[in-house]
Amino acid sequence: MIQHRQTLKNISFILLFILLIIGLSNSSHAASNIFLTEEERAYIAKKGVIKAVSLDGVAPIQYSDKNKEVQGISKRVLQEISAITGLTFEYTLYGSLREVFESNAEIAFGIPNNYAPPDMILSKPYLRSETILYINAAQDPNNLDNKIYAAVRGSALPKGIKEENSIYFETREQSLDAVEAGRADYGYGNAYSVAFYTLQNGYKNLVTIPKGKEARAYCIGFFHEDEILISIINKALSEIGENQLQNLVLDVAAQVERKITFSMVINRYGKEITFIIIGVLSILLFAITSNVKANKTLRMNNRRYEVLSEISNEYLFEYFTKTNRLQLSESFIQQIGTQENLNEANRILKNMLANTAADRQYFEIKLPLANGEVGIFKVIHLSVNDDNGNLVSIIGKVVNISDEAAKREELANKALLDGLTGLYNAITTKELIQTAICSRQEKQRIDAFILIDLDYFKDINDTHGHLAGDNVLLQLGKVLKQSFRTTDIIGRIGGDEFCIYMPNIPSLDFVKTRCQKVSTLINTAIEDIPVTISVGITLVDQDMGYEEIFKSADEVLYQAKRDGRNQIVAWVEK
């Protein structure tokens, strides 16, 4: 068991280099993956720099580094949003929540849901954290009644903690320092910040205990009700996958710069200093201090990797190529479940690792899970070579991205369809019709293009309300699906305007019959509201392009409206 744990620690040690090499590349996005409305794109084009503010001293979520530059997970999330959408942000950190909420900014980032004012609109969460109890080592965690609680000014006190027993500090780091020094007895904080400052400041009087109290969801808060900006940012947050966020968190957390103080040096290296004082030879002193520094770095790195592994929920593996042996972490084996599933997962992983290209550090696979489902996993790996350059093993991590893959597929489908009717939207409809036109090879083939417009649709909205109007559009979409063939392209291209492209029709009468069926069904589908349609039909000539076809159908559609509406007019009849 000890050997097994040591192996996993060694794997974690090497894995950080993988994450540092490829973490940033995995978190890049292309703006083309997000579906934005024309109104949202115009908003982005006109929008200037957005002022974004937050509370300082909440590393690694957000903080100022030694150069007074804003850093942290929240800033990296906003940078991802900027890369996805084209929005530009200006970052400012304040020393207190009061200054944050009194600023003239447009958004506040890295705001926990329980810190936000009641009237602040919050985005969907991009980061969640469990609460960690941190106490002074001299205190009993089971007897904290009437002990001094270290609170962050501006945040609500946890349930059961009295105001008279609380001391307020401006930042989370200050509250941790107070508990470390004994000026306060205990406090609660998010797991990321507690781990970060524990590593950075080398606390030795602090004990941390996971608690299910006050789970926190970090969001972007909006000071004003800007619906378009809220929509754009929420869409961008949906594009940032869970695995991508994990790599981002790891990359930020791995940049901990540990503070070295005089008392820390004395406490940790007192024996070495005493040994120096009594007169060790200078050359031996040099060797000892070099070795101590190396050991200190190794201990600090090992502790860092353990903390990062816990908060990233990653599954580690090592594949020994010469013996064809695959060693998996216990947590991953639990995910797989049965021995049959484990054998299948071993076979798939070994095959992919043995045949992957040397320069390929990432691939996706499907593996059976303990619950009977099939999960989609992302595999990140790196080769380990000996001093002669010979391959010794392949180490890496496996991340379950099933939810992320499902969301990607769902977003891709939504980008093609009209949200109300479920028909193709205007952009998709045009692209499909243009493809169909270009693919026409039989000169004798007859295609038809149809434009349909609801008569007096504005009057329906004004008289019966927009919900009734939406229902009419929804019912017309259903009727169109019932009336036309599965090979026909049906789309909603405007508010109350629809079009159909019918390839390879037998005759014009065939098209008219389908249109008449639509007219009859829609008139009877809506109770208490008379609904009629005007229809314009044009036959597609071999040399006609999309714009010319649309113009022809549009002209006869308006001819139908001029003739009194509730008409079906074809171009050949004009």
- Dihedral in degrees, nearest 10, Cα atoms 133, 135, 141, 143: -120
How many CB atoms sit inside 10 A of residue 292's CB?
13
Angle of helix 73-85 relative to helix 242-253, nearest 10 degrees, comes to 130
- Going by the DSSP 8-state scheme, the letter that residue 157 receives in this structure is P
Alpha carbons within 13 angstroms on the beta-carbon side of residue 540 total 29
Q: Which residues contact 461 (CB under 8 A, 6 or more apart)?
A: 468, 469
Helix segments in 399-439, DSSP class H: 402-416, 426-438
Strand 107-112 and strand 49-55: pairing? parallel
End-to-end Cα distance, the chain: 87
Supply angle C-alpha 13, 267, 181, rounded to 5: 95
> DSSP per residue over 67-125, as a string?
TS-EESHHHHHHHHHHHHH--EEEEEEESSHHHHHHS--SEEEEEETTTS-TT-EE---
Is residue 140 annotated as a catalytic residue, yes or no? Answer: no
Count H helices, E strands: the chain?
18, 21
Asked if residues 60 and 245 have their Cβ atoms less than 8 Å apart, the reply is: no
User: Alpha-carbon distance 4 to 331, whole Å?
Assistant: 13
Q: Quick check: bond before 60 cis, omega within 30? A: yes
Q: Choosing from 496, 509, 528, 563, which is the catalytic residue? A: 496
How far CA 514 is from CA of 436, 487, 546, in Å, comes to 20, 14, 22
Closest alpha carbon to 476 in 459, 452, 456, 451 = 452
Helix segments in 442-505, DSSP class H: 457-464, 466-483
* AA identity, residue 452: I
* AA identity, residue 88: T
Active site residues: 496
